[in-house]
Amino acid sequence: MKQLSNLYRRRIEPGRVGSPELARNLSELSHDIRREISVLIDRRGRVVSVSVADAKGAELPSVRMGETRLAGFHLLHTHPKGGPLSKGDLTTLFMKRLDAVAAVEVKGDGLPGNVHVAHLTPPGSTGEEEDWRVYPPVSPYDIDELDLGAQVSALEEEIARASTLREAKKDRERAILVQIDSGQFDAEERLAELAELARTAGADVAYKELVYRRHLKPGTLVGAGKLEELTSKAYHLDADVLVFGQELNPAQAREIEAATGLKVIDRTQLILDIFALHAQGVESRLQVELAQLRYMKPRLLGQGTQLSRIGGSAGSAAGGAIGTRGPGETKLELDRRRINDRIAFLEAQLREVATRRGERRKRRERNAIPVISIVGYTNAGKSTLLNAFTHAAEEPRRVLAENKLFATLRPTSRQGFLPGVGPVVFTDTVGFIRDLPTDLTRAFRSTLEEIGDADVLLHVVDAATPGADTRHDAVTRILQELEVADLPTVVALNKADAADPDLLAREMERLHGLPVSAARETGLDALKARLAEVVADVDAQRVNDEHTREANLTAERQAYGL
């Protein structure tokens, strides 16, 4: 013990890996106790920590990725069984951003053998190249030959230069996407969808990967080895965010964050973020904030200081980093005690809005104009179709349609016309997505329930993007949950202009859909004719029902002799 603590008094020449004396000292101690010994040395040549452990087990400062500097320490340790730097040594070098890692082999007689040294390579080195540079072994008497200080400052300069360059040209965050494939048939589609979500949320996708795992690791889902790989990717591709395609529980998110030093976001957060970006109007803002608070509440437990980071983005919904945006004026800087109050307040507000909307709905009912609700997966082209149907090409009647997920959050109604039927109301709604986060479904429930007021549903399917079937089925499932699936439904296979003809033909058969292109305005007449038929059927049914009711009433009256 005494000898170990004496190590703290050792000083070496600044900028060197070690001294021959220190190498000998470590080697002999290590030989005596038959264990590895690690010392951490700072740039002034002082020993700042001593551990009886290998590189992985040594006491090391914690780091955050994305910093432009290295740790400011290098690790010198012994290999009592001899041998060069191990994979574990090199991983520690990389993960802890050490200035360098060095190992002194211990010979049978306790004297020091060869010394092995490695340091990091600059970020951006691509391809097969490793994250580190390993020097040829040197004798312990030459351990102070290498000018480590010069190497490290050159490396740091390069890291800093690369990062200024990056900062100058990047206004979007760069993300690494991970979708876990546990054997789902639509895993590829989910990954592609995750990329679309990330893009819509304002991130650039630096890299994306489908990770096959039949069994998930409880803490990190994918395991420590995979996380190391991803950290390395992030280092070279200059990414700062890791996005997971499934919901992470609070403990998992924290563990992955700690292991990688990256900001970690899950799919739900991404979707909430997009909703926050796109929310316009009082109701959607309230709904989004409510969903965000409900999602965050359990995640604030024991987070203390990190809380400020969540709302720490630049005020407006448009600014700030992904996964951190708040809707409208209210930033999510509330502490937990106030969250419950805020949730109760939002719920009350939303109830009020819903009541007012209910009254508006009743007024419209009296008009007895048939209502057609346009539903479908997000980005299917619902808004574009509404515009095409209602000839609202010119502002300001035009509804926002763009290549972003969840562009529409607020239901919009427009009057249109169907041949043989006359005026009808088309309602554009918020798009659906598979595994819609439950907090969002709950928050948007009143908006979604309005779909049930329709006489007919127009289900728009994007036939040009792979996976039309699964998206169609996901929408049908949500319609079932909303208990509106039994409304008469017409399926439009949109983006026919860009669809593969064979696939389109198959979908026409499977879904009994009509091919259209909302953007090119083709196939719209046939679609209108089909809608007119169905609306007429509904009307006839209604008239029929009324007749039956009348007839029943008359029969009743007669029975009672009235």
CA angle, 222 then 228 then 230, to 5°: 75
Q: Which does 405 bind (CB under 5 to 8 A by kind): Mg ion, ligand GTP, none?
A: ligand GTP
Q: Which does 403 bind (CB under 5 to 8 A by kind): Mg ion, ligand GTP, none?
A: ligand GTP
Residue closer to ligand GTP by CB (options 332, 463) is: 463
Tokens standing for residue 402: 């763009």
Residue nearest to Mg ion (CB): 408
The site that binds Mg ion (CB under 5 A) totals a number of residues, namely 4
Identify the residue among 151, 383, 390, 489 touching Mg ion (CB under 5 A).
383
Q: Which does 381 bind (CB under 5 to 8 A by kind): ligand GTP, Mg ion, none?
A: ligand GTP
The site that binds ligand GTP (CB under 6 A) totals a number of residues, namely 25
Site string for ligand GTP, 372-411 (x = CB under 6 A): ----x-xxxxxxx----------------xxxxxxxx---
Considering only 70-78, 248-256, 305-313, 377-385, which stretch makes contact with Mg ion by CB under 5 A? 377-385
* Rounded-to-integer distance, Cα 302 and Cα 294, Å: 16
Residue nearest to ligand GTP (CB): 431
We find the least distance from the C-beta atom of residue 289 to ligand GTP, in angstroms, to be: 20
Residue closer to ligand GTP by CB (options 55, 407) is: 407
Residue closer to ligand GTP by CB (options 402, 483) is: 402
Q: How many CB atoms lie within 10 A of CB 179?
A: 23
DSSP string covering 112-179, please? Answer: EEEEEEEEEPPTT--TT--SEEEPPPB-GGGTTTS-HHHHHHHHHHHHHHHHHHHHHH--SEEEEEEE
* Rounded-to-integer distance, Cα 528 and Cα 276, Å: 34
Contact between 456 and 484 under an 8 Å Cβ cutoff? The reply is no
Please report whether residue 431 would count as binding ligand GTP according to CB under 6 A.
yes
Contact between 535 and 456 under an 8 Å Cβ cutoff? The reply is yes
* Rounded-to-integer distance, Cα 3 and Cα 26, Å: 10
Considering only 142-150, 266-274, 321-329, 379-387, which stretch makes contact with Mg ion by CB under 5 A? 379-387
Q: Which does 286 bind (CB under 5 to 8 A by kind): ligand GTP, Mg ion, none?
A: none
* Rounded-to-integer distance, Cα 417 and Cα 440, Å: 33
Residue closer to ligand GTP by CB (options 242, 279) is: 279
**Region 486-505 residues binding ligand GTP, contact defined as CB under 6 A:** 494-495, 497-498
Helices 468-481 and 501-511, axial angle in degrees (round to 10): 30
* Rounded-to-integer distance, Cα 170 and Cα 35, Å: 48
Please report whether residue 447 would count as binding ligand GTP according to CB under 6 A.
no
Considering only 61-69, 292-300, 485-493, 516-524, which stretch makes contact with ligand GTP by CB under 6 A? 516-524
Backbone angles phi, psi at 492, to 5 degrees: -110, 125
Identify the residue among 181, 310, 517, 532 touching ligand GTP (CB under 6 A).
517
Reduced to 3 states (helix: H, G, I; strand: E, B; else coil), residue 479 is helix
* Rounded-to-integer distance, Cα 488 and Cα 131, Å: 60
Residue closer to Mg ion by CB (options 41, 433) is: 433
* Rounded-to-integer distance, Cα 89 and Cα 95, Å: 10
Please report whether residue 117 would count as binding ligand GTP according to CB under 6 A.
no
Site string for Mg ion, 404-433 (x = CB under 5 A): ---xx-------------------------
Residue closer to Mg ion by CB (options 324, 383) is: 383
* Rounded-to-integer distance, Cα 178 and Cα 187, Å: 11
DSSP string covering 179-196, please? Answer: EEESS-TTHHHHHHHHHH
Please report whether residue 379 would count as binding Mg ion according to CB under 5 A.
no
* Rounded-to-integer distance, Cα 374 and Cα 459, Å: 6
We find the least distance from the C-beta atom of residue 224 to ligand GTP, in angstroms, to be: 38
Which alpha helices (H) appear in 444-500, and where do they start and end? 445-449, 468-481
The residues of the shown chain that bind Mg ion, judged by CB under 5 A, are: 382-383, 407-408
The residues of the shown chain that bind ligand GTP, judged by CB under 6 A, are: 376, 378-384, 401-408, 431, 494-495, 497-498, 517-520
